[in-house]
Structure 1
Amino acid sequence: MQVVKAITVLPGTPASVQLDDRPEPRGTDDALLVQAIALGVCGTDREIISGAYGWAPPGKERLVLGHESLGRVIETPQNSGFDKGDIVVGIVRRPDPVPCPSCAVGEWDMCRNGLYTERGIKAVDGYGAERFPLEPQYAIKVDASLGSLAVLLEPASILAKAWDHIDRIGARTRSWSPRTVLVTGAGPVGLLGAVMAQQRGLEIHVMDLADSGPKPDLVRDLGGHYHARMLPEDFRADIVIECTGALPVLADVMHRVGSDGVVCLTGVSGSGHRLPFDFGAFNRHMVLSNNVTFGSVNANRAHYQAAAEALAKADRAWLSRLITRRVPLDRWQEAFQRQPGDIKVVLQFEPDAA
């Protein structure tokens, strides 16, 4: 029996992550067989490794980790719409089996009953293996000229959804014409949100804790304004995209949006922490200014396609600077260990694909 290397974890058990041998998957009549090129690493992976999150597939103890995929099709069923050699990214979420009204129309990112599954996160093995099966309806063909930068597609899809919903909410008034966006957090999600703001012609402001390293220059090279640790007291924006989940930042940005403004929350906060917060002042500001605050998570196929278009339009050299570390498979543990200056860490299954 031939085997492939796969990164697996025992959900709920801290420090159980390991590199396993798994039976080599085979192509089927309803799935592509994909050779892994690269795998992006994010905070969700580290949460699962810590034992705080994640579910194994039914009937199994271990979960194959990884949801930010990039691979090459090596086997394909007939009439799949894909060819051998196509570069693809796998969508993360799968609709629930009921399905709920949202899942029934392909908006599984808006699942109403929580019965969805997610590759590498919830009840379905992920993409952290040398080869993996991928159903054609959940595969996105990407521009080959992006090369290994296409591994950024999954986090970019999160921001494509955020911008889609911001645009829809803004359209509630026919006169809405935003000029300024504030992004809090200059990680990969925040910076990808900023590049999409640039593509919309908006004035960009990004706030992050870092006062040195690559982040300030990345923002400035977009033509944006970088704010280390704090904003001017009187600063206001038409749109706020909050990407940190940090409670002091959340409490501050609620008041940083101007009239008819929109605040999109993409960062997930931990529970059990309290801050003094003047909810009355917040309510007054929201009501009298016609503001909207909403949360956004995950993405559907349309958002992946929009993200692919945004990445294709972005400057390749700028995108490449988001990937601050590339780790080969034989040193896979290093990919999940935070290091100073990290923005996006990528595990390379193909060493020559950088």
Structure 2
Amino acid sequence: MKIKTLTTILQKMAPLAYAEDFDNVGLLTGNTETEVTGVLFCHDALESVIDEAISTQCNVVVCFHPILFSGLKKITGKNYVERAVIKAIRNDVAIYAVHTALDNHRNGVNKIFADALGLQNTKILVPKEGFIRKLVTYTVADNHLQLRNALFAAGAGNIGNYENCSFNSNGLGTYQGNEYSNPEIGERGEFMEANEVKIEVTFEKHLEGTILKALFENHIYEEVAYEVYTLNNLHQNIGLGMIGELPEALPETVFLQHVKTTMKTGGIRHSALLGKEIKKVAVLGGAGSFAIKNAIAAGADAYLTADLKYHQFYEAEGKLLLADIGHYESERYTAQYMADFLKANSNGLTILVSTVDTNPVKYF
């Protein structure tokens, strides 16, 4: 398998289009034409992890956090980022990062987090905005089904738990071709009226190229009339964080002990206890202070995340239990999830999970 084939599989797990604009995901070092000898999954692609990849004959490291996040003007080995990149390039080790592409996936980081805690009836906490587009096009009845089915096959018409969704309406279309036209119906220069079907379908924005290709290849008109809109609708199956319910309500201290044991954290910083049981829980792996208000609005009894500052604990406002369980800890099962996904979607590859502890935070 070449690296370009591997990245195609990884994008089924975490489409790069799902990543936040500030992020740096995908292939960070390496050549897509290189044959894969083995894949090592990790949380952070530090120099010690690159050493592990070399010793285990894995020439691809798939990391959660991108080791290259912001631009480098020099690569001299003066810090941990530069040293890791230099070692990877010298030893032909490719580095691929997923980060927020997997954060935003319905089955990604936050579903892993929620599943570990045993949450049920889960849904996205902060649905992604500006990700849904609508295609509107017009064709004659004889072309209607072929065109619509081709758009469905290209990925259009998926709404939540439903697929092949569209709206179709009949109307009267008019056109008149000039001397250079070659109309499928009628003659050039002839004013035409045709009974047409208007087809409306939504799609995820990263599929636009594929959708338009299907449109042009399956439409019978010489000139295809179509419109593409960006919708304000939230995407309920793409976004950050997750909220769900425990099988049974737990006292706050019992709940915190459950979190501490399950997520294997050395300590939990939390807001004032409220003296009520915890049933509805919101989670967001990594730095999640921005979603405190979302958790409150969703009616969460507790919100688990990481990297909270002193004053942000006040934002709990006595409405929920706010807990910082540690950045690494909130994402700790991600590497194993990625490895399991690749194992289920490939054959014959050496697939390993790093044994290096890359958590920079230690507890006394």
> TM-score, normalization: structure 1?
0.31
Q: Higher RCO, 1 or 2 (CA under 8 Å, sep at least 6)? A: 2
> TM-score, normalization: structure 2?
0.30
CA radius of gyration, larger in: 2
